[in-house]
Structure 1
């Protein structure tokens, strides 16, 4: 479910008997309006329509409330990435491309969750459940990178699959943050977020020695050579 400001205003108030859920939804609304650092525990109670003491029935403090939101976000994030990866079907590069698009789509469609996950300043290891959820989400990207690494041309130096996963994650996160914060509006860009990420990964794969034009890609089988759009498996900016 995407959290939008109009939803937050319509659903304010604790009416349905589920205090914990009411507080989570109230906090999501506040994050959407003010950012992950822009509200207090008392603000969440006020938006939920309960006393300042009521949240302590379910959460130790604001950080625990935020970590619960971030955990839920990572669980949904993992689901979106896993669905996009689809165990590498119909071929590794096509599935890998979908993972990148799913990453950007989640950041765009779930900005409150994304902010809680990556911009709250909470150490991931402060909550074992949050850490596990974050690791499961990253594991999807790592699995895709491992499969991609297996397709690298022989005798070409390349980083370990884990480092490749971190590189791809960093690129995806950077593009998502750039467009999500609205920074792109300050500078006219000749491409979308998806096109920018595709171009970055294309350059990255070329640097690792992957064939990036269609003629090279079609010389192998469907899953032992990267194939994709003209210009590379992640396309080129228009």
Structure 2
């Protein structure tokens, strides 16, 4: 069987998924299309039908990771759109679940050096692109408005909420502490206790 006759499904998606694992293992400098091709058991030329260079593949990996994360949060945000409090609780749980169940996404998105996509200014948070943080920010804003938090306190409260769910996700994904029970119940209890402004 010829090496570039790919038979395990979609080659482009496989290149992205294997590329994600490789990127997390070796970093951007040692990352190469040749190595990803080897992981996919295809010829070194096969990936070039989908990506012209390694930068294009890395961009595709980034898009894949952030879009899947954003879609995951959007699904919950839509489901609980009529209740700002329950929505922010469920969104926080979903954030943690997604990162714990997809540690490769967590490492790529937040634990490797990248340019900041959210700018914190005195009176507002500004994201440079439409991303998962926007989903979280919008839901957090709705929650804060629903409990009559002063506008000048929005930024710090949103950062605090984001830090809480992100910290929980990171600690659980990397086993910073061990917990015998259901980690999502633990997360929910922590969020409910701390989101009483």
TM-score relative to the length of structure 1: 0.61
For residue 37 of structure 1, what is the aligned residue in structure 2? Answer: 27
CA distance in 1, matches of 2:183, 2:17: 31
Alpha-carbon distance in 2 for matches of 1:29, 1:13: 21
Post-superposition shift, 1:143?
Answer: 1.0
* Greater length-normalized contact order (CA 8 Å, ≥ 6 residues apart): 2
Corresponding residue number in structure 2 for 1:114: 106
| Counterpart-to-counterpart distance in 2, 1:122 and 1:46 | 26
Secondary structure in 2 aligned to 1:150? helix
Inter-partner Cα distance in structure 2 for 1:179 and 1:161: 27
What is the Cα-based RMSD across aligned positions, in Å? 3.4
- State the match for 2:16 in structure 1: 24
Alignment of 1:99-138 (within 5 A): 99-123=91-115, 132=129, 135-138=130-133
8 Å CA contact retained: 2:93, 2:187 = no
Query: Contact conserved, 2:89 with 2:191, CA < 8 A, in 1?
Result: no
1:177 aligned onto 2:165: no
Consecutive unaligned residues in structure 2, runs of 5 or more:
118-127
Structure label with greater radius of gyration: 1
Q: Aligned partners of 1:182 and 1:144: how far apart in 2? A: 28
2:138 aligns to what SS in structure 1?
helix
- Tell me how far apart the structure 2 counterparts of residues 190 and 69 of structure 1 sit (CA, whole Å): 33
TM-score with structure 2 length normalisation? 0.71
Question: Offset of 1:124 from its aligned partner?
Answer: 5.8
Residues 22 and 48, structure 1, Cα contact 8 Å, conserved in 2: yes
In the other structure, the counterpart of 1:142 is: 137
Structure 1, 48-57 or 81-90: larger mean CA deviation: 48-57
Superposed displacement of residue 177, structure 1:
0.8
SS of corresponding position for 2:112: coil
Offset of 1:123 from its aligned partner? 2.8
Which of 60, 72, 94 is 2:53 aligned to?
60
Q: How many residues align?
A: 181
1:95 lines up with 2:87 in the alignment: yes
Task: Give the drift of 1:200.
Answer: 5.4
User: How far is 1:37 from its partner?
Assistant: 3.1
